[in-house]
């Protein structure tokens, strides 16, 4: 009985119909949390003593980086579920997670570059975290490229899942080795002291933004998965009826 | 049916070595690539030996990585085209061992020659004398990691018409730890530090790859060659 929800997920149709009901509410909550977090962080949080207002970009940068990494694991887990339980829906989730994760990784890199210019005096430095994020972007692009390369949806899904899993094994190794590499070559001009503990007035809006980004990620993932469901199930009766409700009746 | 876990390793190793021997020209091209690119570096940067010595360790590793990438594409390609890969897949043997045999043959015909040629390149790029032994050790271990990881990528792209470039995109991020510790081994030795720790990590990466990559490649081959 307790596994019923899991078995239901095997049906893309059930997911589509259920998410139709819940999506507006989820989107509303996500928008509310994001807007309140942004207004709080950008307008009301105190300015940083050293960085002034430029620090406020962390309200985008940090949540985006969080989800960029979490998104890879979500994608890999979805792929593993697909390989193990042969579930169509989870492959669709996996495929949808890749471009969203890549976009978030890009946002994290981009906002980092914008913040780096006034703070470090350069848009790009080969810092350990930045380099790891760049490699993460490459990993995402690889999964996306592999999926687009196959004509057969089945092969694309399974190959993508295997690559995502191999990447999951590699990510901790890559992160650790890039970390090690950086301590070896740390340039003397740029010093990264450990971040001073954040004041609670700055930290609370960040927390709100992180929650908001998670909600936003969920909304984006569901939306993307829904369109993927429609695309892959376009030949089934229920999708046809959904798109052209009258055609079926006339025929 | 009692099957030894080992079965399939030696026959496939021998077969691939024989095939490589009969196609010597093909096998030589990554090696020629390796030597040719090293000519580009003084032309593109500077012929001054002091400056070349500084970048020699890293450049040799970058070139070895690219040369391996060029060759790993062909690991399963001809077997896929002539149907012997399909025969392997439907045989009762466990798949990972024959694959490990093929990968070993690939390393013996690319990674090992690259390693053996590298002192010549070190000479051309005026690598400091302390760097030669670590370079040989790190290249021997590291190219084995590259062959193993590359096999997973080759298995994922074997049925695609233009798999070669895609393969590079897939495996390049996974190669980064290898190049970090590989070139660190050499630069540690040049700086007079103990170069065994980075080499040991390279060995750990190799051990993990030997254990996991044939399994992943086997899983990938079952999926991709079905199409």
The mean per-residue pLDDT over the stretch B152-176 comes to 90
Q: Is the pLDDT of residue B71 over 60?
A: yes
- Which residues from A are below 8 Å from B when comparing CB atoms? 135, 138-139, 141-142, 145-146, 149-150, 152, 154-155, 158-159, 162-163, 165-167, 169-170, 173-174, 176-178, 180-181, 184
The residues, ordered by sequence, that sit 6+ positions from A105 with a Cβ below 8 Å of its Cβ are A64, A68, A71, A133, A136, A137, A140
- Sign of the CA dihedral A16, A22, A24, A27? negative
To the nearest 10°, report the CA torsion of B71, B75, B81, B84: 150
Residue contact B180–A180, C-beta within 8 A: yes
Kindly list the distances between the CA atom of residue A57 and the CA atoms of A63, A68, A199, in Å, as whole numbers in the listed order: 10, 16, 16
Percent of the residues in chain B that have a pLDDT greater than 70, as a whole number: 97
pLDDT at res. A249: 56
Instruction: State the pLDDT confidence band at B197, using cuts at 50, 70 and 90.
Output: very high
Q: Which residue of A has its CA nearest to B165?
A: A145
Residue contact B223–A158, C-beta within 8 A: yes
Cβ pair B57, B187 in contact under 8 A: yes
Cβ pair B156, B170 in contact under 8 A: yes
Residue contact A155–B227, C-beta within 8 A: yes
**Across A144-153, B9-18, B141-150, which has the greatest mean pLDDT?**
B141-150
Q: Which residue of B has its CA nearest to A174?
A: B177
Residue contact B184–A181, C-beta within 8 A: yes
Tell me whether B217 touches chain A (CB under 8 Å).
Answer: no
Interface ipTM = 0.88
Partners of residue B224 in chain A, C-beta under 8 Å: 155, 159
pLDDT at res. A196: 53
pLDDT at res. A251: 47
Tell me whether B219 touches chain A (CB under 8 Å).
Answer: yes
- Residue A121 sits at φ, ψ, to 5 deg, of 80, 10
Q: Is the pLDDT of residue B167 over 50?
A: yes
Spell A97-130 as b/e; 16+ CB within 10 A means b. bbbbbbbbbbbbbebbeebbeebeeeeeeebbeb
Tell me whether B8 touches chain A (CB under 8 Å).
Answer: no
Tell me whether B119 touches chain A (CB under 8 Å).
Answer: no
Look up tokens 């928008």; give the residue: A31
Residue contact B174–A166, C-beta within 8 A: yes
B95, two tokens? 């798949």
Tell me whether B227 touches chain A (CB under 8 Å).
Answer: yes
Q: Between residues B173 and A191, which one has the greater pLDDT?
A: B173
pLDDT in tens, chain A (251 residues): 567 777 777 788 888 988 999 999 999 999 999 999 999 988 888 877 777 788 888 899 999 999 999 999 999 999 999 999 888 899 999 999 999 999 999 999 999 999 888 888 888 888 888 889 999 999 999 999 999 998 888 889 999 999 999 999 999 999 888 888 887 765 544 444 455 567 788 888 899 999 999 999 999 999 999 999 999 988 888 888 888 877 655 54
Between CA B47 and CA B53, with CA B52 as vertex, the angle to 5 degrees is: 140
pLDDT at res. A189: 44
Name which of A135, A162, A169 is nearest B223 (Cβ-Cβ). Answer: A162
Name which of A166, A173, A178 is nearest B152 (Cβ-Cβ). Answer: A166
Q: Which residue of A has its CA nearest to B153?
A: A163
Residue contact B166–A149, C-beta within 8 A: yes
Tell me whether B55 touches chain A (CB under 8 Å).
Answer: no
Domain boundaries, chain B: 9-224
Look up tokens 């996996």; give the residue: A94
Q: Which residue of A has its CA nearest to B221?
A: A159
Partners of residue B168 in chain A, C-beta under 8 Å: none
Tell me whether B211 touches chain A (CB under 8 Å).
Answer: no
pLDDT at res. A4: 76
Tell me whether B168 touches chain A (CB under 8 Å).
Answer: no
* Residue B64 CB coordination number (10 Å): 30
Q: CB-hemisphere CA count at 13 Å for B18?
A: 6
Between CA A161 and CA A164, with CA A162 as vertex, the angle to 5 degrees is: 65
Cβ pair B166, A148 in contact under 8 A: no
């Amino acid at each position: 009985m307790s596994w019923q929800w899991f078995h239901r997920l095997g049906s893309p149709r059930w997911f589509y119909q259920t998410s139709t009901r819940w999506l507006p509410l989820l989107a509303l909550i996500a928008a509310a949390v994001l807007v309140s977090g942004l207004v709080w962080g950008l307008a009301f949080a105190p300015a940083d003593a050293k960085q002034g207002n430029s620090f406020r970009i962390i309200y985008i940068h940090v949540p985006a980086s969080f989800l960029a990494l979490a998104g890879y694991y979500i994608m890999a887990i979805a792929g593993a579920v697909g390989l193990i339980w042969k579930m169509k829906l989870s492959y669709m989730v996996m495929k949808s997670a890749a471009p969203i994760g890549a976009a978030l990784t890009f946002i994290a890199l981009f906002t980092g570059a914008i913040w780096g210019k006034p703070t470090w005096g350069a848009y790009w430095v080969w810092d350990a975290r930045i380099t790891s994020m760049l490699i993460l972007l490459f990993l995402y692009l690889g999964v996306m490229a592999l999926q687009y390369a196959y004509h057969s949806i089945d092969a694309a899904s399974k190959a993508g899942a295997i690559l995502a899993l191999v990447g999951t094994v590699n990510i901790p190794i890559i992160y650790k080795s890039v970390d090690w590499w950086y301590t070896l070559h740390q340039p003397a001009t740029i010093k990264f002291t450990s971040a001073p503990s954040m004041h609670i007035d700055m930290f609370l809006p960040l927390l709100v933004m992180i929650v908001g980004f998670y909600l936003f990620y969920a909304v984006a993932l569901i939306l993307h998965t829904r369109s993927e469901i429609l695309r892959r199930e376009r030949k089934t009766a229920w999708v046809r009826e959904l798109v052209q409700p009258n055609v079926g009746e006339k025929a | 049916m009692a099957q030894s876990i080992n079965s399939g390793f030696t026959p496939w190793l021998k077969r691939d070595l024989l095939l490589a021997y009969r196609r010597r020209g093909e096998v030589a091209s990554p090696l020629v690539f390796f030597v040719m690119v090293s000519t580009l570096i003084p032309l593109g940067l500077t012929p001054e030996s002091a400056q070349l010595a500084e970048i020699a360790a890293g450049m040799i590793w970058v070139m070895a990585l690219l040369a391996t990438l060029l060759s790993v594409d062909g690991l399963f390609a001809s077997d896929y085209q002539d149907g012997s890969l399909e025969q392997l897949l439907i045989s009762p043997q466990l798949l990972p061992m024959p694959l490990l045999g093929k990968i070993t043959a690939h390393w013996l015909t690319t990674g090992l020659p690259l390693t053996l040629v590298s002192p010549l390149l070190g000479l051309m790029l005026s690598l400091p004398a302390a760097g030669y032994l670590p370079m040989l050790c790190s290249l021997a271990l590291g190219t084995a990691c590259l062959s193993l990881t590359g096999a997973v990528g080759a298995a994922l792209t074997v049925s695609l018409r233009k798999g070669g470039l895609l393969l590079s995109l897939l495996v390049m991020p996974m190669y980064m730890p290898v190049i970090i510790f590989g070139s660190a081994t050499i630069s540690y030795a040049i700086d007079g530090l103990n170069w065994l720790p980075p080499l040991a990590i390279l060995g750990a990466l190799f051990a993990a790859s030997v254990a996991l990559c044939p399994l992943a490649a086997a899983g990938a081959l079952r999926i991709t060659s079905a199409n």
